[in-house]
C-alpha cells in the first residue's frame, strides 16, 4: 500500500469541488442557451460551495494544513500560502454574493440574477485555477516536507473535522447534494 500523504483527503475533496464547478458551469451554459436558470440546482451548488468547499475543506486547510506548513518554515504572509488564503477569501466573497442574490433572482429581480450569474462564473474560474495551483504547487511541497508522524496527526484531525456539522449538515448530507447534482447533470 502506498504511503498515506498529508494531502490525500484534501486532493479527493478537490475532485468533488471541481465536479460541482463543472455542474454549475453546465447550468449556466443551459441558461445562456435557453434563458431558463435551474434555481434549485444553483441553490444546491451554492450550499455545497459554502459548506463543503469553504467551511469543511478550506477550514481544514487553514486550521490544520497551513499551520503545519508554517511550523516547517513556509511563510504565511508571502508565497503560495498567502496566495491560497487570498483566493479562499475571493471564493468566500463569490459564494456570499451568490447566496445573497439567489432569493431575489428567483423571484424575478433581473439585477440580482445577473449578480448571481456573474459571481457563479467568477467562482468557477477562480476555483479551477486555485485547485490546480494547490494540487501542483502547495500540496506537492506539503507531501515532500511533512514528516510521517505529523502526517498521521493531520489525517486524524481531518477525520475529526469530518464528524462535525456544517449549518446542521453532516458530510454525508453534503455528499448527497453532490450526488443529486451529478445525477441531474450527468454530462457536466
Ligand atoms: Fe483546497
For residues 50 and 94, what is the distance between their CA atoms, to the nearest angstrom?
A: 10
Could you tell me the distance, in angstroms and rounded to a whole number, from the CA of residue 131 to the centre of ligand 1? 6
CATH of the domain at 117: 1.20.120.520
| Number of domains comprising the chain | 1
Could you tell me the distance, in angstroms and rounded to a whole number, from the CA of residue 59 to the centre of ligand 1? 9
Q: Is residue 1 part of a domain?
A: no
Could you tell me the distance, in angstroms and rounded to a whole number, from the CA of residue 83 to the centre of ligand 1? 12
In a structure prediction context, what are the per-residue pLDDT tens digits for the chain, which is 188 residues long? Answer: 456 899 999 999 999 999 999 999 999 999 999 989 999 999 999 999 999 999 999 999 999 999 999 999 999 999 999 999 999 999 999 999 999 999 999 999 999 999 999 999 999 999 999 999 999 999 999 999 999 999 999 999 999 999 999 999 999 999 999 999 999 999 99
Count how many Cα atoms sit within 13 Å of the Cα of residue 25 in the half-sphere of its side chain. Answer: 16
Could you tell me the distance, in angstroms and rounded to a whole number, from the CA of residue 168 to the centre of ligand 1? 22
Boundaries of domain holding 102: 8-184
Could you tell me the distance, in angstroms and rounded to a whole number, from the CA of residue 34 to the centre of ligand 1? 33
Q: Is residue 3 part of a domain?
A: no
Q: pTM for the whole thing? A: 0.95
Q: Is residue 89 part of a domain?
A: yes
Amino acid at each position: 500500500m502506498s504511503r498515506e500523504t498529508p494531502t490525500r483527503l484534501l486532493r479527493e475533496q478537490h475532485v468533488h469541488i471541481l465536479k460541482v464547478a463543472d455542474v454549475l458551469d453546465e447550468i449556466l451554459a443551459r441558461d445562456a442557451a435557453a434563458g431558463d436558470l435551474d434555481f434549485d440546482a444553483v441553490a444546491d451548488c451554492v450550499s455545497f460551495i459554502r459548506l463543503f468547499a469553504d467551511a469543511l475543506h478550506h477550514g481544514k486547510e487553514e486550521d490544520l494544513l497551513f499551520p503545519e506548513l508554517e511550523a516547517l518554515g513556509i511563510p504565511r504572509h508571502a508565497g503560495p500560502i498567502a496566495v491560497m488564503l487570498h483566493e479562499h477569501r475571493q471564493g468566500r466573497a463569490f459564494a456570499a454574493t451568490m447566496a445573497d442574490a439567489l432569493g431575489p433572482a428567483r423571484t424575478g429581480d433581473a439585477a440580482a440574477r445577473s449578480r448571481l450569474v456573474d459571481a457563479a462564473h467568477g467562482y468557477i474560474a477562480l476555483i479551477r485555477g486555485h485547485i490546480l495551483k494547490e494540487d501542483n504547487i502547495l500540496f506537492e511541497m506539503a507531501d515532500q516536507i511533512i514528516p510521517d508522524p505529523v502526517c498521521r496527526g493531520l489525517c486524524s484531525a481531518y477525520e475529526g473535522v469530518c464528524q462535525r456539522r456544517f449549518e446542521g449538515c453532516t458530510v454525508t448530507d453534503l455528499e448527497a447534494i453532490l450526488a443529486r447534482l451529478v445525477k441531474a447533470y450527468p454530462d457536466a
